[in-house]
Amino acid sequence: MTIIDKALLDEIAELEVQAIKEGLKDPEMRKNPAFLEKVRKFLKENNLKTIPETPGISDIQKITEELPTFPIGERVIN
């Protein structure tokens, strides 16, 4: 088994978090489903959870409340 210096592992983890933060600030990356899936995976693997008090969560809740609900099994025609 290889022993890796803890300081190096900490630096790698910090760079990974920084890359995610930069990606979330980029308008194109924020719309990329593959990138968002990686963000969700990172959060899940590191047991990071959002709570109602997390900044931005109330905005997301408001947006999702405005989404239309479509009946199941019916076709929607524009």
Three-state SS annotation for 3-42: CCCHHHHHHHHHHHHHHHHHHHHCCCHHHCHHHHHHHHHH
Query: Could you tell me the CA-to-CA distances from 76 to 66, 69, 71 in Å, in that order?
Result: 18, 11, 9
The pLDDT value recorded for residue 47 is 83
Domain spans of the chain, in order of start:
8-66
Residues 6+ apart with CB under 8 A from 38: 20
Model confidence over 5-49: pLDDT tens digits? 999 999 998 999 999 999 999 989 888 889 988 988 988 888 887
